[in-house]
Amino acid sequence: MAYEKVAGRAEIISVHEGHLLKTTTKEEVDSYLKMSESLANVAPRCCYIITNGKLVEMKKCMVCIQNSSKISQLMTSHSNGEFLILKDEGYEMVNPRIMDLKLGTRTHSDYIPKEKKENHIRKCKATTSEKLGLRLSGAAFVESGDSFATKWDKAFGKSLKSDQFFKAMKNFFDVDERQKTEVLRQLLKIRVVLEDSTSHRFFGSSLLILIDDEGQEIVKVKLIDFASMARSETGQQQYDGADTGAILGVNTLIKFLTK
């Protein structure tokens, strides 16, 4: 399946077989370079980072090795800026349901202007983010009995109250019970990683959920978007304990799927 974007501002394009090129920031590149193995295991696989003309290998990938000439071309055409070469998690899916859920009760980084910070805070208070730790950012899927795709954008997600949010989740998760069980299993794994990632804050991160309507065994739940992620480091703001806002969001979805 060709890559389909349902949320986010970053430019993401398909490159060689089953891989995406994401335009990003120095902050997200830094997050990937310092990412723990457990966190990397619940994030989209990052094969390479291109940072100001330098190629940094993150994980050995035979597909990328076989497409080394294409990567060289990307290096030439993207010599300035920051980029990630990521595995397309939905590549093998035939007819996927795709949903992006903004995670946490706070979405702004420590280093944005006061005006933007206040806008983020207002947005969280006015939406489901504050109470549920989740806000719908986008989705695309075909509901049972329909011949056309249902698409939800950021504006729709911001408009939802809690009861409407759960109604939307019911529509999206109208899938096989085995698929729901697999979503739940992967959410529980992500929760453990969040609980173990003490001194981290996943500001601006999202849950990406992909469920293939044509393949009952193909389900992916990934933690994505790390440009605003914060860590307690020398010279930076210090955080103590796990990110309770992000954990709240994961727990909200777990409770919905198990009720």
Contacts for 141 with CB less than 8 Å, ≥ 6 apart: 96, 97, 98, 99, 149, 150, 172, 213
| Residue 14 CB neighbours (<10 A) | 13
Of 142, 136, 140, residue with least CA distance to 154: 136
- Domains of the chain plus CATH, in order, are 12-87 (no CATH), 96-258 (3.30.470.160)
| pTM > 0.85: yes or no | yes
Give the Cα separation of 175 and 142 in Å (integer).
11
| Residue 155 CB neighbours (<10 A) | 7
> Which has the higher per-residue pLDDT, 9 or 18?
18
> Which has the higher per-residue pLDDT, 115 or 233?
115
Tell me the pLDDT tens digit for each residue of 143-189.
876 778 899 999 999 999 999 999 999 999 999 999 999 999 999 99
Q: Give the strand order in the sheet containing 134-141.
A: 150-152, 134-141, 96-103, 206-212, 219-224
Tell me the pLDDT tens digit for each residue of 188-213.
999 999 999 998 999 999 999 999 99
Q: Helices 177-196 and 244-258: crossing angle, nearest 10°?
A: 160
